[in-house]
Amino acid sequence: MPIIDVVRETALAGRLVLWEESARDGAQGKTLMSAGFRVELARAQGAVFGADGPRHVVFAAGFPAVCREEFDATRRVALEASDAVSPAAVCRATSADVLQACRAVQGAAHARIMIVVPASDEIADAMVHRTAAEALRDAVDLVRLVRDSGTGVIPDVCFADAPRADIALMAAAAGELTAAGAGLIIVADTTGDLLPARAGRLFARLRAQAGPAVVFVTHLHNDLGLGLANTLEGVRAGVRGVSSSWLGVAERSGMVATEQLLFLLAHRTAELLGDDADLWHTAPDLTRLPAIARAVAGETGLPLSVTTPIVGTGVGTISTGTPFVRPATFQPFDPEAVLGIAPTVLLTHLASGRVVRSVAARLGYELTREETTTALEWVKSEAYRRNHPVIPDADFAEFLATRREPAAV
């Protein structure tokens, strides 16, 4: 019985596939997710798409060749989360690694492996001491090895260092690999060197030369801060598979952040791709993104900062006068309506009288005009004395309590 590749079907239908890398490439960003957390993350990410999680999410669970513990973690994801996502193992382009990766995910629904193959002569010489053409030709045999292994695993192939590779060579290889049974062809900007215009041209040319049977996936690093922009150019060029990582964690400076990419493609679809774009079997529930991001931050030790887009601690916060009065005028989207992030008024050295009264009311105090003036002077002076902008509610409440008891508000 032929293996049904729900991920490939999704992309060929013009809908979007996310290839999640935070557990695998994220390890090269000096983080380590436990096996249990990988399972939790895979299930949480799949739940963003409801029952269609396996169609929309490939979860790169790990690199089994690293050690026994990594193999076991990858296998746990495959066995415990394949109803939520399509689990994948990543491996080098050797028969031993390929078969080991297959064993790591064998028996799971929608199981896949990704075989990393050097696509440029420069990286091929460094990785396998051969030419790119030879490495790509050998990859065809590895794809056939997986298809003939009886494991039921779907092989995908990653072209490492694609921007420095010959486009005609990659396009021809992509066609041969797909004909041999590869599901997806992942195109990696391994060094993060692409600029957006060139990224768009790269994917447009690859798609034109390889033909409609090949399903390409972006894998773009963020060394120049352009991973998100480059990925969006790939999507605009017609690619319907995108690699990303929660909080952008990956090798060196990371890669495009899952929460940013998914938010933009779901919330600004028409503006990016036109009114006719239909990317989802089940539209993603964006209100799940903040909780997942917080969980990843807790597991990896990567902080969510005030400047982190979409899921950072600054989203939904107000601290100055005019935005307090008309918040919709001063933000690109409604955080509560779109992400489920309730607005929060913070007391800082930039506070206005309105802000002070609002925070006081939250603490149970209704201030007169004179009390507001006194409180505002204290807040500003105290912030500068501490050299810290935010006055915590507890400290402000202590200040107010020295003046009088709270009244019902």
Q: Is the dihedral of CA 268, 274, 275, 278 positive or negative?
A: negative
CB atoms under 10 Å from CB of 370, counted, come to: 8
Token readout for 169 is 């060579």
Q: Is the dihedral of CA 129, 206, 115, 230 positive or negative?
A: positive
H/E element holding 158?
strand 154-160
d(CA 3, CA 147) in angstroms, rounded, equals: 10
Over 70: is that where the pLDDT of 1 sits? Answer: no
307, part of any domain: no
Using an 8 Å Cβ cutoff, are 109 and 6 in contact?
no
The stretch 335-362 carries a mean pLDDT of 91
H/E element holding 281?
none
Segments forming the whole domain that contains residue 57:
6-300
In this structure, the answer to whether residues 286 and 157 fall within a common structural domain is: yes
The stretch 212-231 carries a mean pLDDT of 97
Q: What is the pLDDT of residue 327?
A: 79
In this structure, the answer to whether residues 295 and 234 fall within a common structural domain is: yes
The stretch 399-408 carries a mean pLDDT of 73
In this structure, the answer to whether residues 200 and 256 fall within a common structural domain is: yes
The stretch 155-161 carries a mean pLDDT of 97
CB atoms under 10 Å from CB of 143, counted, come to: 24
Using an 8 Å Cβ cutoff, are 53 and 45 in contact?
yes
In this structure, the answer to whether residues 119 and 257 fall within a common structural domain is: yes
310, part of any domain: no
Over 90: is that where the pLDDT of 328 sits? Answer: no
In this structure, the answer to whether residues 27 and 98 fall within a common structural domain is: yes
Count structural domains, the chain. Answer: 2
Select from 237, 268, 300 the last residue of a domain.
Answer: 300
69, part of any domain: yes
Where is pLDDT greater, at 309 or 324? 309
Over 80: is that where the pLDDT of 37 sits? Answer: yes
In this structure, the answer to whether residues 162 and 281 fall within a common structural domain is: yes
Predicted TM-score of the model (pTM):
0.92
Residue 405 confidence class, pLDDT cut points 50, 70, 90:
low
H/E element holding 244?
strand 241-244
Encoded amino acid at 238, one letter? G
Q: What is the pLDDT of residue 317?
A: 86
Select from 300, 324, 349 the last residue of a domain.
Answer: 300
